A and B are shown apart, each in its own frame.
Chain A
Amino acid sequence: MNLWLPKSAAGKRWLGLAPSYFIIGIFMLVPMVIMGVFSFLEPNPYGGVKPVGSLAAYVKLFFEYDLEDNLVFNPGYINIIFRSFQLSFGATLLCLVFGFPVAYYITLQPENRRNFYIYLITIPFWTNLLIRTFAWIIILGRGGVIETPLLAAGIIEDSLRMMYTDGAIAIGLTYSYLPLMVLPIYASLEKLDFRLLEAASDLYASRLEVMTKVVIPLCKPGIIAGCILVFIPCLGAFIAPNLLGGGKNLMLGSLVQFQFASARNWPFGAALSMLLLSAVVIMLIFYARAASKRASMEGSD
């Protein structure tokens, strides 16, 4: 008889869940607390932090010191954050525009072929993201796959200068995270009862109305999940902004990476991460609220 085993049901449940608490604690909470603590410390110019409390990192988000050592408002970082949201939003929208038809098309295929297409969707994940993003340089860049034939055919006379633009970043982000949009939308479309589409068209709905009144409302959970899965990693992305944006159009992710790797300002990087984290958490709370409201409205199903 193991005397140290808990007797009560609640105690046993806790014991059963202990491994997952442990894993979440070690791999999620502890690193997050470290980040939180670091954001309130002073940077060590040689890397790492000095154990001295400071709000300097958060002040730096909005202000800088001018030549006379006065604190003045600095919109630079706010602009980067704003552009990050803009680009992430654009990339999410592009993912939705391209991902939804793909998911819908796969759903319409015979069952044995669907799994094969889903398998194809996941294939890009097998290769390193860095290498796949480099491929876009070859496609978009000067003398690249797109420009060369156009130049040769005389359709354009000069380089299109597609590289190192926000557009290139958006394309890179869209490409990177498209599968994360397709998969959840497919999962919800797959559960869709296609007889409802017939019922809708029987009741005088045009093809567009069948989509907007029946298909999209019914796979909204998948669409929202896809948007969240794309938007959040886009905000934190640094490979596409660095390679395709040329590092001059910084995004939040590349800014954080820069603070840790090159600028040696860990507290500032940590503060930026905390800002990103709180933005994401706020968005998820809104989503969870909307989802639970919907669930209670639609009953137990």
Chain B
Amino acid sequence: MIAAIDIRGVTKVYNPASNQPVKALDNVSLTINDNEFFTLLGPSGCGKTTLLRLIAGFEQVSGGAIMLFDEEIVNLEPNQRPINTVFQHYALFPHMTVADNVAFGLERLRKPRSEIDATVERVLTLVKMKELGDRRPNQLSGGQQQRVALARALAPSPKVLLLDEPLSALDLKLRQAMREELKQLQKETGITFVFVTHDQEEALAMSDRIAVMSNGEVQQIGGPTDIYEHPVNRFVADFIGDTNFLDGEIVSFDDDLVTCRIGVQSMFEAENSGGHSIGDKVTLFLRPEKITLSPPDQASNVKTRPGKVANIVYLGNQTAYTLDMGDGIELTAQARPREDGKLPFAMGDSLAVGFSARALRVLAQ
């Protein structure tokens, strides 16, 4: 695989000379492959936008190197980097028409007029905005401005396209539709997309690979299922999706499973991910959707524990149940509504709570 962007030990410190320097990125290394939809995911302030701005050239690195197809680019001005950006608030030029906005980059590259016109038409067609080329940005809706911003960034055929939370200003329906389109666009153009977002759902739905960031460091890099199913630490498990965390201590283990004591006396078995020893303080995590709930008389073949419904949160297609498992342990589980739309369980119901040891994983403390 060819590396489109190679981030090598990049550090970024804001106000280094002042008495309150802010370390936005701390020795970050990651490789973004050619023709990949790569997502930088993390909460606000995690450094993802800083990293994007370093790649674009709007900020200077404090240390480390950034390679674009094996070429060092940290000393290049933004206008010298064959990288284009879709800005969070689009940043369309208000004094130019849609077509002029899209043509801007090509004109600066001194392309011949005929080529510019052809490219502008092609790119505007690609984002379904061909008819609105004569409009001004302030005559467009948010979604349309978003498409123009995309077209403008794609028109010069950059080697890498950076997208800085481009969907965050759109309403939910439009955002979901644009997810599909962006992914489609990436496939069609074959351009490497580097997408910044704090929305884990967006990241899971669109990305080939995701880098989860926190406090200026990369926590984990992997495909959506890797990140979701095998988070390397508590931060990643917590940030992506809903999770039950159980803090305890390993009391015994074999090749397959570790047994942990949670609370005072409850024993939970979890998959042995290796490297554990008796007495280790560990955190187990369990996704709510891996828990099955059934009335106690219909206990299935899976090993179950008794639990009591302590709280109900109705979510429409799902209902989240908080279960009191005794011994100070609470678990959150999900259940679908019944066919008649009624909730399957009520407050205070005693239930058989089932989950396999395979669904429980050990996280490093």
A residues near B (Cβ < 8 Å) are 193, 195-196, 198-206, 209, 213-214, 217-218, 297-301
Q: Are A299's CB and B87's CB within 8 A?
A: no
Bound: A193/B90 CA distance, A: 11
Q: Do the beta carbons of A200 and B138 come within 8 Å of each other?
A: no
Q: Which of A193, A201, A299, A301 contacts B79 (CB 8 A)?
A: A201
Residues of chain A contacted by B205 (CB below 8 angstroms) = none
> Any chain A CB within 8 A of the CB of B89?
yes
Q: A301 to B92, alpha carbons, bound, how many Å?
A: 14
Whether B105 lies near A299 (C-beta < 8 A) is no
CA A217 – CA B101 in complex, angstroms? 14
CB-CB under 8 A for A298 and B109, given A198-B58, A199-B85: no
Tell me which of A195, A203, A298, A299 has the highest count of chain B C-beta atoms within 10 A of its own C-beta: A203
With A199-B85, A203-B108, A205-B108 known as contacts, the answer to whether A218 contacts B79 (CB < 8 A) is no
A293 to chain B, nearest CB (A): 13
Q: Are A195 and B77 in contact (CB under 8 A)?
A: no
Asked if B95 CB lies within 8 Å of chain A CBs, one says yes
In this assembly, does B94 line the interface, its C-beta being within 8 Å of a C-beta of chain A? yes
For B97, the closest partner residue in chain A by CB is A297
- Cβ contact within 8 Å between B152 and A203: yes
Q: Which of B57, B105, B138, B139 contacts A203 (CB 8 A)?
A: B105
Distance in Å: Cβ of B7 to nearest Cβ of chain A? 19
Whole-angstrom CA separation of A298 from B77 in the bound complex: 31
Report the tally of A-B residue pairs with Cβ distances under 8 A: 70
User: Hey, which chain A residues are within 8 Å of B92, CB to CB?
Assistant: 199
- Say whether B11 faces chain A, with CB atoms less than 8 Å apart: no
A200 touches B104 (CB 8 A): yes
B58 touches A301 (CB 8 A): no
CB of A53 to closest CB in B, whole Å: 52
**Chain A interface helix/strand/loop/mixed:** helix
Collect the chain A residues with CB atoms within 8 Å of residue B22's CB: none
Does B138 contact A199, Cβ atoms closer than 8 Å? Answer: no
Known: A209-B108, A300-B138. A202 touches B93 (CB 8 A): no
Taking CB atoms and an 8 Å cut-off, the chain B residues in 79-118 that contact chain A are 79, 83-85, 87, 89, 91-95, 104-105, 108-109
Could you tell me the distance between the alpha carbons of A199 and B155 in the complex, rounded to whole angstroms?
A: 14
Q: Does B248 contact A (CB under 8 A)?
A: no
C-alpha spacing A213/B77, complex, angstroms = 18
Chain A nearest CB: distance from B78 CB in Å? 4
Does residue B307 face the partner (Cβ distance < 8 Å to A)? no
- Given the complex, which residues of A lie within 8 Å of B78, measured CB to CB? 198, 201-202
Contact B93 A196 (CB under 8 A): yes
Task: Add 13 more A-B contacts to A205-B108, A299-B136 (CB < 8 A).
Answer: A195-B91, A199-B91, A201-B77, A201-B78, A202-B57, A204-B156, A218-B95, A298-B94, A298-B138, A299-B138, A299-B139, A301-B94, A301-B136
The yes or no answer to B221 lying at the interface (CB within 8 A) is: no
B84 touches A203 (CB 8 A): yes
Q: Which 3 A-B pairs have the closest CB atoms?
A: A203-B105, A204-B108, A199-B91
Residue of B nearest to A209 (CB): B108
Q: Which residues does chain B contribute within 8 Å of A298, judged by CB atoms?
A: 94-95, 136, 138
Do residues A214 and B93 form an inter-chain contact, with CB atoms below 8 A?
yes
CA distance in complex: A300, B57 (Å): 34
Contacting residue for B156 out of A196, A203, A209, A217, CB 8 A: A203
Measured CB to CB, the nearest residue on chain B to A213 is B104
Question: In the complex, what's the smallest C-beta–C-beta distance from B93 to chain A, in angstroms?
Answer: 6
Is B163 in the interface zone, CB < 8 Å from A? no
B105: chain A residues within 8 A (beta carbon): 203-204
Whether A204 touches B109, Cβ cut-off 8 Å, given contacts A298-B136, A299-B138, is: yes
Q: Given A298-B136, A299-B136, A301-B138, are A202 and B94 also a contact pair (CB < 8 Å)? A: no
Tell me, yes or no, whether B66 is within 8 Å of chain A by CB.
Answer: no
Residue of B nearest to A294 (CB): B95
CB-CB nearest in chain B for A196? B91
Which chain B positions have C-beta within 8 A of A217?
Answer: 95
Give min CB distance, A113 to chain B, whole Å: 16
- B4 close to chain A: CB less than 8 A: no
What residues of chain B lie closer than 8 Å to A204, measured between beta carbons?
A: 79, 105, 108-109, 156
Determine the chain B residues whose CB is within 8 A of the CB of A198 once the complex forms: 56, 58, 78, 85, 87, 91
User: In whole angstroms, how far apart are the Cα atoms of A195 and B58 in the complex?
Assistant: 10
The answer for the CA separation of A201 and B92 in the assembled complex, in Å, is 13
Contacts A/B (CB < 8 Å), 10 sampled: A196-B93, A198-B58, A198-B78, A198-B91, A199-B92, A199-B93, A201-B58, A203-B152, A297-B136, A299-B138
A257 to B: closest C-beta gap in Å: 42
- Give min CB distance, B187 to chain A, whole Å: 24
- A199: min CB distance to chain B, Å: 4
Nearest chain A CB to B56's CB is how many angstroms away?
6
B87 CB contacts on chain A under 8 angstroms = 195, 198-199
How long is the Cα–Cα vector from A200 to B91 in the complex, in angstroms? 9
Q: Which chain B residues lie closer than 8 Å to A201 at the CB level?
A: 57-58, 77-79
CB closest residue in chain A, given B89:
A195
Across the interface, B104 reaches (CB within 8 A) one of A195, A203, A299, A301, namely A203
Contacts of A205 in B (CB 8 A): 79, 104, 108
Nearest residue (CB) in B for A194 is B91
